[in-house]
Amino acid sequence: MAVSRQCRSRAGFNFNFQSSGFGQRRPPPRRRPPPQRQPPPLPPQVVKAQRLVGRISSLSRLRKAALNPDTGTASKHVFHAFYTAGSCEDRLDRELRFPYPLVDLDDAKHGDRRWDAHVRYFKTDVSPGKPSSDDALKLATKLGAENAASDQNQCPTFVSIRRGASLRAKDVSTHYFRRRSQNAFETWATSQLKVDVMFRNSVKADVVLYWHDPHVSDSASVSELFRTSRSRRWRQGDALPP
């Protein structure tokens, strides 16, 4: 702001003096805010697994991608995550790391487009205000996951659809995590995929059974035989635990 000062000389002449900022203190220089810390990059295998997740925006698209057109039931097991953009999406990708480590990255290389051999993975953004938000919310409501759009404590919400099941609410399972970690997601997802298997030796000789799972170490106990890659030997009549 310019300040004007008037002075009168002895001869009767008036003089005006103007100075810019006269009598004012200059504001201190603004400090630039520190740059935001970028989160550490995800491991390459997690990034690769997440690239295999299909984005579904409506019920019709899910039916086309996951259901057998002749029977109207799921042709493979389906894991479907519903989330909103922002912190919820970060929890889905960075904390739960969906769908790692369930994706069989070796199987994904061969045929059947980009899908795993036994399970399909989908995700739907139910953030309000997007062009497809109405269709996405209708899909979430159909599967019982609509709270993911309004309650951050239930975001993300996962839906599990077993192979051979329909899209009716009674045929699907929904779940959200209070403790969001990769182990929590893996434990729940594994329980959804678990099947009972019984192996019985019915020959008159010792049999060596080889069960290979590339995701599990070879130090599992006998009760976890279905998850170990070691060979174990049982005698005639021995029943292996499921």
Q: What is the pLDDT of residues 78-91, one digit of tens each?
A: 999 999 999 999 99
Q: Looking at the structure, do residues 229 and 155 belong to the same domain, yes or no?
A: no
Question: Which pLDDT does position 31 carry in this prediction?
Answer: 80
Q: Looking at the structure, do residues 140 and 203 belong to the same domain, yes or no?
A: no
Q: Looking at the structure, do residues 137 and 220 belong to the same domain, yes or no?
A: no
d(Cα 78, Cα 241) in Å, to the nearest integer? 27
Task: Say whether pLDDT at 210 is over 70.
Answer: no
Question: Which pLDDT does position 215 carry in this prediction?
Answer: 47
Q: Looking at the structure, do residues 156 and 241 belong to the same domain, yes or no?
A: no
Q: Looking at the structure, do residues 206 and 170 belong to the same domain, yes or no?
A: no
Q: 69 lies in a domain?
A: yes
Instruction: Choose the most confident range, by mean pLDDT, from 35-39, 49-53, 209-213.
Output: 49-53
d(Cα 96, Cα 127) in Å, to the nearest integer? 19
Distances (CA, A) of 231 to 97, 214, 218, 228, 238: 31, 14, 9, 8, 15
Q: 95 lies in a domain?
A: yes
Q: Looking at the structure, do residues 173 and 55 belong to the same domain, yes or no?
A: yes
Of 202, 108, 220, the closest CA to residue 211 belongs to 220
> What domain range includes position 221?
197-242
Q: 222 lies in a domain?
A: yes
Query: How many domains does the chain divide into?
Result: 2
Burial classification of residue 31, based on how many CB atoms lie within 10 Å of its CB (0-12 exposed, 13-18 middle, 19 or more buried): exposed
Distances (CA, A) of 144 to 72, 99, 131, 158, 195: 19, 20, 21, 10, 24
- Return the structure tokens found at 101: 């480590």
Q: Looking at the structure, do residues 204 and 229 belong to the same domain, yes or no?
A: yes
Identify the domain boundary among 161, 176, 193: 193
Any long-range contacts for 115-120 (C-beta under 8 Å, 24+ apart)? 115/52, 115/54, 115/76, 116/52, 118/76, 118/77, 119/76, 119/77, 119/78, 119/79, 119/193, 120/54, 120/65, 120/66, 120/76, 120/77, 120/78, 120/79
Which pTM does this prediction carry? Answer: 0.67
- Which residues have C-beta within 8 Å of that of residue 183, sequence separation ≥ 6? none
d(Cα 1, Cα 19) in Å, to the nearest integer? 9
Backbone angles phi, psi at 64, to 5 degrees: -70, -35
Q: Looking at the structure, do residues 93 and 153 belong to the same domain, yes or no?
A: yes
**Mean pLDDT, range 166-195, rounded to an integer:** 85
pLDDT in tens, 102-160: 876 665 454 444 445 688 999 999 999 888 889 999 999 999 999 999 999 999 999 99
Q: Looking at the structure, do residues 184 and 152 belong to the same domain, yes or no?
A: yes
Task: Say whether pLDDT at 10 is over 60.
Answer: no
d(Cα 48, Cα 121) in Å, to the nearest integer? 13
Question: Which pLDDT does position 35 carry in this prediction?
Answer: 77
**Mean pLDDT, range 210-229, rounded to an integer:** 44
Q: Looking at the structure, do residues 109 and 141 belong to the same domain, yes or no?
A: yes
